[in-house]
Structure 1
């Protein structure tokens, strides 16, 4: 009986040794995933800018003898993740602000090609302020006029 007990102890010890070795091997093999995760330096995620077109609309512009009409198509450049839904929700505020801005301009001022960049900058600062005032969380990188026809 003592030899049976002795053999059982040896088998149990061998199983424990094999189990311990297998567990140590598995932990060593998985350690980069188990332990290294929080310590691994990750590259900063670069948000790429996307462009969001706005539906075209027509604005009445004062002239010397009679009113003129401005057809405006534009797009917004933004890196914000929620830009599409935010711009859709803010569409009435955006169009209203642009109508006010352009209706205060004279036809000759808008018909001058050299004013194009300054008009885009003015629209960018105006819309950034209006969106912030109305609690729309979006970062506008740029406002681009993609088409501007004055008649």
Structure 2
């Protein structure tokens, strides 16, 4: 009888071990599946892509520049850099304003000021400030990041 009891205890222990390991595996499997489903269905906030900068060339300018003996002429081609995808429309609408602003800015400069290559960065910065101001004053988007002079010829 003692042998039968010890075998019965061994069988019961083996069954309990088998049941507990099966239950444990089932629990871990279900929890990991829940975790995977939760991970799959929880939405992370979508990050909007940063707009790519675009360059918008303006029509060339021919500007009269005062000189000591006689007037000079400057041919200026420029482009505007912007991250605003709607900037092309704004530039078409405000073309006359921007051209007038650039004409005024450059007509106040002397031949010597403009003929110095060291002045390009400061002229571009000044043009940027003036363009942003004139667009803002006229309630237009002023999302210009940079003004680039692509060609500048002074005679």
Q: TM-score, normalised by structure 2?
A: 0.72
- Aligned to 1:130, the other structure's residue is in SS state helix
Task: For residue 46 of structure 2, give the secondary structure of its aligned residue in structure 1.
Answer: coil
Residue 135 of structure 1: how far off its partner (Å):
1.1
Q: Does 1:135 align with 2:139?
A: yes
User: Partner residue of 1:18?
Assistant: none
**1:46 counterpart = 2:42:** no
Alpha-carbon offset, residue 91 of structure 1:
0.5
Matches within 5 A, 1:33-112: 36=41, 39-112=43-116
**Contact 1:61 1:69 survives alignment (8 Å):** yes
Once the two structures are superposed, what CA deviation does each residue of 1:48-100 show, in whole Å capped at 9, x if it has no partner? 10000001020000000111001000000001121001001110000000000
- Once the 2 structures are TM-superposed, how far is the Cα of residue 47 of structure 1 from its aligned partner? 1.1
**TM-score, normalising length: structure 1:** 0.74
8 A Cα contact 1:61 1:107, kept in partner = yes
Q: For residue 129 of structure 2, what is the aligned residue in structure 1?
A: 125
Two-structure CA RMSD over aligned residues (Å): 1.7
Aligned to 1:115, the other structure's residue is in SS state helix
Extract unaligned runs of 5+ from structure 1. 1-30
**Unaligned segments of structure 2, at least 5 residues:** 1-36
How far residue 42 of structure 1 moved from its aligned partner, in angstroms, is 1.9
- CA distance, structure 1, for counterparts of residue 45 and residue 97 of structure 2: 43
Is the 8 Å Cα contact of residues 121 and 143 (structure 1) preserved in structure 2?
yes
Structure with max Cα Rg: 2
